[in-house]
Chains A and B, each alone.
Chain A
Amino acid sequence: MSRESILSAIKKNKPEQVSLPEIDLGIFHEDVDLVETFSKNLESVGGRIVSFNRIEDLDAEIKKRYPNAKHIVSCSSESNLATMSISNETEPHSLECIDLVIIDAQVGVSENGAVWISDNDFIVRVLPFITNDLVLILSKKDICLHMHEAYNIISKRYRTFGLFLSGPSKTADIEQCLVIGAQGAVSLTVFLI
């Protein structure tokens, strides 16, 4: 059996026990303005930021940015813009025509402009990738300093599928020229409240 032969080869060849290092997170601490740094970093990776103060204004703000979106899926209870409803029975291939998806994000990471979302928030896993444009709603108070904090925050979740998402899909595979919109969503806007 390959399993046994691999495991026994490892046992035979592995080096002497080395213990795990202690991680002192203090080394990585910085006093930065979390919202400002998050916004700056998200913009540097091609994402957009819209700050707004009243949750009632959300739909108007989204409409302003995406006036032509026809096929809209909203996974957020804060938005009423949905033109299509989905459930966990929805066949992912049927979502090919989606223009805009709206999702509640749980955590923002200031050091890299990434946002954590999981399939609790968007039900059908392909949604944030197959849509043309993606809107995430994030509360300013949910922005943390760095990835260590972010993993700490999400450590208690029920694990199915989730991701850190930083900006829109991109590639530089043709002569190192950056092109936004490779295979996933061609734009990402984070609405910060």
Chain B
Amino acid sequence: MSHAKEAELFNNDEAKVNWHDQALWFVRNKRDKAAHTVKGWEELRNLASAIKANVLSNLDEYLVEFEENAQKNGIHIHWATDAEEHNKIVHNILLKNNAKKVVKSKSMLTEECHLNPYLEVNGIEVIDTDLGERIVQLAKEPPSHIVLPAIHKTKEEVDVLFQKHLGTIPSEGNPQYLTSEARKHLRNKFLKADAAITGVNFAVAETGGIVVCTNEGNADMGVHLAKIHIASMGIEKIIPKEKHLGIFLRLLARSATGQPITTYSSHFNKPSEGKEMHIIIVDNGRTEQLGREHFRSSLNCIRCGACMNTCPIYRRSGGHSYKATIPGPIGSILSPGTDLKKHSSLPFASTLCGSCSDVCPVKINIHEQLYQWRQIITKDVKQPIVKKTVLKMTGRVLGNSKLYGFFGKSARFMLKHLPKSVINSQTNTWGKARDLPKVENDNFEDWYKKRKS
């Protein structure tokens, strides 16, 4: 199903969509407030972007340096070209250690590899321990947001889910009660786990160590109790030096939720005595993306989720409508790289307003890359007729670079001048429930500045 069709489903419950929209906008505002309290915020973004550019241009050397340093500290390093190999490596480590129960903290990479179902058919229990992830796991759903996995669920839905699976009493969705019950439930799982799987936020070439960020402390509870720690990372998680963490940790949580830093920023450099630590370095299409000149900077993403919170389409269509591991603007750039046909509608799930690029802490030109994908897709993939019509008109507008050289400007022009019947056509289901965001004459920054003052 296309993104538009999925979005239509999400829009059936209007009250919920409105809540979703406003909740994420609220997070976006918290991000703004947090950013404005930091002296030199823009310089931090520039540095982060420049460091990531350096990383991509030396990625092979940094990975080798990372591997050497990690091995010196007794960490086992594995390499996986794709999801299947990654899952096999995890399974083998578990088999060797006779590990049957696994606790896992948030890791979009293991989602991408569909690790849980793979381990489950092999008789291994995998428990997601981030509260939001546990909620969606119990509901047998994928996360709908990379930072707020259960943002699409109401507290009443969580209540019913916990009654069924954790035996809680009805509480009309009391978050305090539900969280404390989840705490007890997960404590038990932590204490019984044989192995802990975590993601990696940053891997430092210079030291061979990794940093994992959580608010709940679930990664640490898992790792420090279990005998085995397996951390999965994409090849792009490398940063050159430990001091660069100063830059990225200042940006990450502020961009994600408006917190000044995550509660726990744990630095794992050496396993404790008698325990094993494994790191799996995964490609799964990333080297291919590295070779695409226009799209390679999408690999710089630090998974803060800010582009989702700010995106008018994401907020009103929900993460599941993207049918991709990473939803939202950045996901719409990453996913077509893995399967162009399957994800061909995603780069169209955007107004090209550019708000994503404005908030991105590593300054990825997200909306420009969305536009680039549209160019490729309209050439290579058959489009439904209605989209073609819109695109023809878009193409005409965008094509005239003298008049409308900048994509954002062109999109604004399109919204203003195309008849509503075309904009709110079937390709734009998110526009059905209400009118599209009002288009101002000013560019985004002017408008934004005005709004703030």
Chain A residues with a Cβ under 8 A of chain B? 1-3, 5-7, 9-21, 23, 27-30, 41, 44-45, 88, 92-93, 96, 109, 111-114, 119, 124-126, 129-130, 146-148, 150-152, 155, 159-177, 179, 181-185
12 CB contacts below 8 A, A to B, read A3-B79, A7-B60, A9-B283, A9-B291, A13-B296, A15-B56, A27-B43, A113-B260, A129-B264, A167-B263, A174-B179, A179-B176
A38 to B421, CA, bound (A): 55
> Does B288 have its Cβ within 8 Å of any Cβ on chain A?
yes
- When A and B form their complex, which 7 residue pairs have the shortest distance between CB atoms, in order from nearest? A184-B217, A13-B291, A112-B260, A173-B132, A182-B216, A126-B224, A9-B287
Q: Which of B155, B217, B262 contacts A182 (CB 8 A)?
A: B217
Taking a contact as CB atoms under 8 Å apart, the answer to whether A165 and B263 are in contact is yes
Taking a contact as CB atoms under 8 Å apart, the answer to whether B57 and A183 are in contact is no
Taking a contact as CB atoms under 8 Å apart, the answer to whether B79 and A179 are in contact is no
Taking a contact as CB atoms under 8 Å apart, the answer to whether A147 and B249 are in contact is yes
Taking a contact as CB atoms under 8 Å apart, the answer to whether B240 and A184 are in contact is no
Taking a contact as CB atoms under 8 Å apart, the answer to whether B64 and A173 are in contact is no
Please provide the chain B residues from 20 to 56 with a CB less than 8 Å away from any CB of chain A in the complex.
23, 26-27, 38-40, 43-44, 46-47, 50-51, 53-54, 56
A10 to B60, CA, bound (A): 6
Taking a contact as CB atoms under 8 Å apart, the answer to whether A161 and B272 are in contact is yes
Taking a contact as CB atoms under 8 Å apart, the answer to whether A182 and B183 are in contact is yes
Knowing A6-B79, A14-B56, A15-B56, say if A21 contacts B50 (CB, 8 Å).
yes
Chain B residues with a Cβ under 8 A of chain A? 23, 26-27, 38-40, 43-44, 46-47, 50-51, 53-54, 56-60, 63-64, 73, 79-81, 85, 129-132, 135, 148-151, 153-155, 158, 173, 175-176, 178-180, 182-183, 186-187, 190-191, 207, 209, 215-218, 220-221, 223-225, 235, 240, 242-243, 245-247, 249-250, 257, 259-270, 272-273, 281, 283, 287-288, 290-291, 293, 296
A174's nearest neighbour on chain B, judged by CB, is B175
Interface of A is mostly: loop
Question: Which residues of chain B have C-beta atoms less than 8 A from A166's C-beta?
Answer: 259-265
Instruction: With a 10 A CB-CB cut-off, give which of A1, A3, A5, A124 has the most chain B CB atoms.
Output: A3
Instruction: With a 10 A CB-CB cut-off, give which of B73, B81, B151, B261 has the most chain A CB atoms.
Output: B261
Taking a contact as CB atoms under 8 Å apart, the answer to whether A183 and B186 are in contact is yes
Taking a contact as CB atoms under 8 Å apart, the answer to whether A171 and B179 are in contact is yes
Knowing A146-B250, A169-B217, say if A163 contacts B179 (CB, 8 Å).
no
Taking a contact as CB atoms under 8 Å apart, the answer to whether A2 and B85 are in contact is yes
Instruction: With a 10 A CB-CB cut-off, give which of A20, A126, A182 has the most chain B CB atoms.
Output: A182
